């Protein structure tokens, strides 16, 4: 079946052409973070959602649910639990159980909840930088001590970012209790290899840490035939201390339906987490749960087609970056985010924030590397139509080109 990833979808004025039934149906009442944070003229390649319509099977399931018309409190359907079990077994070779799953209203809430549930006030919560910005705020927001270890920058332009095990170990103190880990990694797009993770696993065990493995981008591995290996599968000895986070939100573009899942094999850990979060988060989003089941159950052909589109976009971007003096990028191995090193760009010399400079001078909104703990970089979201991407790259050419 052919899916349409080419026709631009109007997100700035989303209701254009629709028949409007009333004020809540006005396009101005459907704003998106991506398209409405900056001015009308700005092309947004920042926040991590895509400009693609979700899989047809998801839309169909949502329409049927909306037609039911009653949106009272729901329950997580057994069929959704079974569907995720089947997805996990098929795609990761991990036979999880239905009752290992705690469905939650998002991955970022889960990071915070894990900190509250698994650590005490003042304990250290560790992460590696650069990192998706909310990771950097979890410790402080939950009354814990933030701890960070820097990754190793690419040995040469275009080489991969690496985990710096020595830096990670140096950041661990007797108070460290929890590691917030991102696998695959946002923003570098790294897909960690087993030999890299082995050192991490050894540290985690030796220091008795809990791990939250945020695997939100794991269904978007870009290499042909690549297969995600959850941390808890690569190192079964870690499974009892690991909380694995998955969601259909990045893969199937459902972030606004606020639905994610924590997979916790260890019964004691699961009970502890469940008890600590009671009352802090709403019950499942009834539309999000329906969408998740349709996505995991029927969305794979769409996902395969999406991966092909993203590979093409990654190639187009890499060709462009190669033409921008002083700008480098390690090709992302997963997802639709590219991490650009802009520190040596002569066009941006003297600029405090390359992100701001590109916003003002090119009219393209990227994510600021400083927010990820790494100034001088910017993250570019290529999860958009080829037309939109090309328009943004042409604008960037105008500033960054030689
Ligand atoms: C690694 C990672 N974790 C979490 C999130 C956000 O997840 P949620 O919207 O479910 O809170 C993102 C969004 O970009 C992400 O990239």
Alpha carbons 262 and 7: distance in angstroms, whole number: 34
User: Does the beta carbon of 107 sit less than 6 angstroms from any atom of ligand 1?
Assistant: yes
* DSSP character string of 273-284: HHHHHTTTSPPP
The dotted CATH code for 23-54+300-400 is 3.90.1150.10
- 368 CB contacts (<8 Å, ≥6 apart)? 353, 355, 356, 375, 378
What is the Å distance from ligand 1's center to 107 Cα? 6
Domain 78-298 CATH class label: alpha beta
What is the Å distance from ligand 1's center to 1 Cα? 29
The separation between the first and the last C-alpha atoms of the chain, rounded to the nearest angstrom, is 42
What is the Å distance from ligand 1's center to 48 Cα? 8
Domain with CATH 3.40.640.10 in the chain: 78-298
**Which atom from ligand 1 is nearest to the alpha carbon of 247?**
10
Report the relative pairing of strands 328-329 and 337-341 from DSSP bridges: antiparallel
Local confidence pLDDT in tens for the 402 residues of the chain: 789 999 999 999 887 655 555 555 565 678 899 999 999 999 999 999 999 999 999 999 999 999 999 999 999 999 999 999 999 999 999 999 999 999 999 999 999 999 999 999 999 999 999 999 999 999 999 999 999 999 999 999 989 999 999 999 999 999 999 999 999 999 999 999 999 999 999 999 999 999 999 999 999 999 999 999 999 999 999 999 999 999 999 999 999 999 999 999 999 999 999 999 999 999 899 999 999 999 999 999 999 999 999 999 999 999 999 999 999 999 999 999 999 999 999 999 999 999 999 999 999 999 999 999 999 999 999 999 999 999 999 999 999 997
- What global pTM score does this model have? 0.97
Q: For the chain, what percentages of helix, strand and coil (3-state, to nearest 5) are there?
A: 45, 15, 40
The two three-digit tokens of residue 129, written as one number: 């930088």
Domain with CATH 3.90.1150.10 in the chain: 23-54+300-400
DSSP 97: -
The two three-digit tokens of residue 177, written as one number: 């209790």
**Which helix (DSSP H) or strand (DSSP E) does residue 245 occupy?**
strand 242-246
- 205 CB contacts (<8 Å, ≥6 apart)? 237, 238
């Amino acid at each position: 079946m052919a899916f349409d990833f080419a026709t631009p979808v109007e997100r700035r004025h989303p209701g254009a052409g629709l028949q409007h039934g009333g004020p809540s149906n006005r396009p101005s009442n459907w704003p998106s973070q991506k398209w409405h944070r900056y001015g009308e003229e700005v092309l947004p390649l920042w926040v991590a959602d895509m400009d693609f319509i979700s899989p047809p099977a998801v839309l169909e399931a949502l329409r049927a649910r909306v037609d039911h018309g009653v949106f009272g409190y729901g329950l997580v359907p057994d069929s959704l639990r079974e569907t995720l079990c089947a997805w996990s077994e098929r795609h990761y070779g991990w036979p999880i159980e239905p009752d290992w799953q705690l469905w939650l209203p998002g991955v970022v809430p889960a990071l915070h909840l894990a900190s509250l549930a698994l650590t005490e006030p003042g304990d250290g919560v560790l992460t590696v930088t650069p990192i998706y910005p909310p990771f950097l705020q979890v410790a402080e927001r939950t009354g814990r001590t933030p701890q960070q270890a820097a990754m190793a920058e690419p040995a040469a332009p275009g080489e991969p970012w690496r985990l710096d095990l020595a830096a990670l170990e140096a950041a661990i103190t007797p108070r460290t209790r929890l590691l917030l880990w991102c696998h695959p990694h946002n923003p570098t797009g790294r897909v960690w290899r087993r030999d890299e993770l082995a050192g991490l696993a050894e540290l985690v065990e030796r220091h008795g840490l809990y791990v939250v493995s945020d695997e939100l981008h794991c269904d978007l591995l870009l290499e042909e035939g690549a297969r995600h290996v959850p941390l808890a599968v690569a190192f079964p000895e870690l499974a009892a201390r690991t909380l694995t986070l998955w969601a259909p939100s990045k893969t199937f573009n459902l972030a606004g339906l606020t639905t994610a899942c924590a997979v916790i094999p260890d019964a004691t850990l699961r009970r502890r987490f469940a008890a600590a979060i009671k009352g802090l988060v709403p019950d499942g989003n009834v539309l999000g749960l329906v969408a998740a089941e349709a996505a995991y159950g029927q969305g794979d052909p769409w996902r395969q087609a999406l991966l092909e589109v993203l590979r093409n976009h990654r190639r187009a971007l890499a060709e462009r970056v190669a033409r921008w003096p002083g700008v480098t990028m390690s090709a992302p191995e997963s997802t639709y985010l590219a991490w650009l090193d802009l520190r040596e760009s002569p066009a941006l010399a003297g600029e405090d924030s390359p992100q701001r400079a590109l916003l003002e001078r090119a009219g393209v909104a990227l994510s600021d590397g400083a927010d990820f703990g790494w100034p001088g970089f910017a993250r570019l979201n290529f999860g958009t139509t080829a037309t939109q991407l090309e328009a943004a790259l042409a604008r960037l050419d105008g500033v960054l080109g030689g």
